[in-house]
Amino acid sequence: MAVNIYDVAKLSGVSIATVSRVVNGSTKVSEKTRRKVLDVMEQCGYTPNVFARGLGLDSMKTIGILCPDISDAFIAQAVAFLEERLHQYEYDCILGCSGYDLEAKETHTKMLLSKRIDALILVSSTYAGRERHPEDVEYIKEAAKQTPVFLINGFVEGKNIYCSFCDDFKATYDVTSGFIRRGKKKILFLCDSYSYSASKKMAGYEAALRDAGYPIRGELKFYTKNRIHHVRDMLLSHKNLEFDSVVATDDGLAIGALKYANVKGLKVPDDIEIAGYNNSQLSVGCEPELTSVDNHLEKMCNDTVDYMLRVLQGDTDVPPQNEVVCEIKKRCTTDF
C-alpha cells in the first residue's frame, strides 16, 4: 500500500501534525524540521491522500464542467480554454456531457453535485432554457444553493449564479443590416435550437429588418438540424423558397446553405450572400471562405474562471452578468 502521513512522521521523527504543516506550507515550522520532512517525503514518494483531505476540507479542488456535447467544435473550444485556465490554478475538471434534454441535464447536474465539486460551469446557452419556461432552469437554481454556478453563453437569473454571454443581438443585427445595406431583399434566418442565444440572434435579425422597414416573414426563418447535408437538402426541398442571403447561427448551417448555393449554381456572394457564426475552421475550410461572427469565446471563458476564483475566495462583489462584444470576421461580402 502507499505510504501515508504516519509513515512520513515516523521516518522524520516528528508528529503527523508537523508533516501536515509542511505539506500545507504552514510557516510555523522550523527550517530544519521542514527540510527533514521534505527529504523523507521525497525519499519515499509520499502523495497526500486526496480523499482524506477532501473529507477534512470538504473540497477536492475540482470544478464540474457540464456541456451538452463535447464533439461540438464551439463547445470543445470553450472547454479547452476553461481547462487550461483552471489547471493553472490547480483545479481539476470533471466533465459531463448531458445532451440537450432537460431530464438528462438534471441527472448529470445531480451526479456532478454529488461529487462535491467546488463550482459548476455550464457551457452552452442550451442550459438557459426556453423563454417563459422557468421550469427549464429550476435545477440550476437548486444546484446554486449547493455550489456557485457559472453559465457560459447564456443567462439565468438567480442567487449564486454568474453568467457570461456575448452580444448576439448586436452581432446578428449588424450582419443583417449589412445585407440590407447591400440591397439584399430576402434574408433567410437559419438556426438549430431555441436556446437563449438563438433567441437573441433572431431578435437581432428581426430588429434589423424592422428598422429597415422590411416585413418579418415567417417562411424565411428556419429551424433545422445542424448537419451540413441535412441543411442543404432541406433548403433544396423547398422548391418555392426564394432568398438572396443567409444569416446562420452556426457555421455548420452556413456551410449547408453554401452547399445549396453550389447545387443551384448561385455565385457567393454576388447571387447570394452567406454569413456564419462562431468563426470555426469550417468557415475557413470552404470556398469561398465565409464571413462569420467571432463571439470572443476565450474572453468569456477567462472571465468566467476569474469570477469563479473570486467567488470561491469569498469576494461578494463579483458581477452576476458579464457581456462580451462580438466581432464580425469579414471574409466574403460584396461590400468594399
Partner DNA sequence: GTGAAAGCGCTAACAA
Partner DNA sequence: TTGTTAGCGCTTTCAC
Of 2-41, which residues contact DNA (CB under 7 A)? Answer: 2, 4-6, 13-18, 20-21, 23-24, 27-30, 32-34
Q: Which is nearer to DNA, 20 or 262 (CB)?
A: 20
Kindly report the length of the chain.
Answer: 336
Question: Which of a copy of itself, DNA, none does residue 65 bind to, with CB < 5 to 8 Å depending on kind?
Answer: a copy of itself
User: Which grid cell sits at 31?
Assistant: 527550517
| Pairing outcome for strands 327-329 and 291-294 | antiparallel
Q: Considering only the stretches 72-80, 121-129, 149-157, 165-173, report the one whose residues sit in contact with a copy of itself under the rule CB under 8 A.
A: 72-80
Q: How many residues bind a copy of itself (CB under 8 A)?
A: 51
Question: Which of a copy of itself, DNA, none does residue 211 bind to, with CB < 5 to 8 Å depending on kind?
Answer: none
Residue 188 CA to residue 227 CA, distance in Å, equals 17
Ramachandran class of 26: left when φ > 0, alpha when ψ lies in -120 to 50, beta otherwise: beta
Of 35-64, which residues contact a copy of itself (CB under 8 A)? Answer: 47-52, 54-55, 58, 60, 62
326 contacts: CB under 8 Å, gap ≥ 6: 166, 167, 168, 170, 171, 293, 294, 295, 296
Q: Which is nearer to a copy of itself, 62 or 125 (CB)?
A: 62
Residue 264 CA to residue 257 CA, distance in Å, equals 10
Contact status: 79 vs a copy of itself (CB under 8 A): yes
Q: What type of residue sits at position 12?
A: S
**Containing H/E element for 165?**
strand 161-166
User: Which grid cell sits at 293?
Assistant: 461572427
Q: Cβ of residue 318: shortest distance to a copy of itself, in angstroms? A: 24
Contact status: 55 vs DNA (CB under 7 A): yes
Residue 318 CA to residue 222 CA, distance in Å, equals 38
Q: Which is nearer to a copy of itself, 110 or 133 (CB)?
A: 110
Q: Do 113 and 120 touch, CB atoms closer than 8 A?
A: yes
Q: Do 74 and 297 touch, CB atoms closer than 8 A?
A: yes
What is the contact mask toward a copy of itself in residues 214 to 243, using x (rule: CB under 8 A)?
Answer: --------------xx--------------
Q: Considering only the stretches 5-13, 73-81, 167-175, 321-329, report the one whose residues sit in contact with a copy of itself under the rule CB under 8 A.
A: 73-81
Residue 21 CA to residue 8 CA, distance in Å, equals 12
Q: Do 248 and 223 touch, CB atoms closer than 8 A?
A: no
User: Which grid cell sits at 223?
Assistant: 429551424
Q: Do 115 and 62 touch, CB atoms closer than 8 A?
A: yes
Contact status: 255 vs a copy of itself (CB under 8 A): yes
Contact status: 44 vs DNA (CB under 7 A): no
What is the contact mask toward DNA in residues 56 to 85, using x (rule: CB under 7 A)?
Answer: xx----------------------------
Alpha helix ranges (H) inside 271-315? 282-285, 297-312
> Where does this chain bind a copy of itself (CB under 8 A)?
47-52, 54-55, 58, 60, 62, 65, 69-73, 76-77, 79-80, 83-84, 87, 90, 92-97, 108, 111-116, 228-229, 252, 255, 258-259, 262, 281-282, 284-287
> Where does this chain bind DNA (CB under 7 A)?
1-2, 4-6, 13-18, 20-21, 23-24, 27-30, 32-34, 46, 48-49, 52-53, 55-57
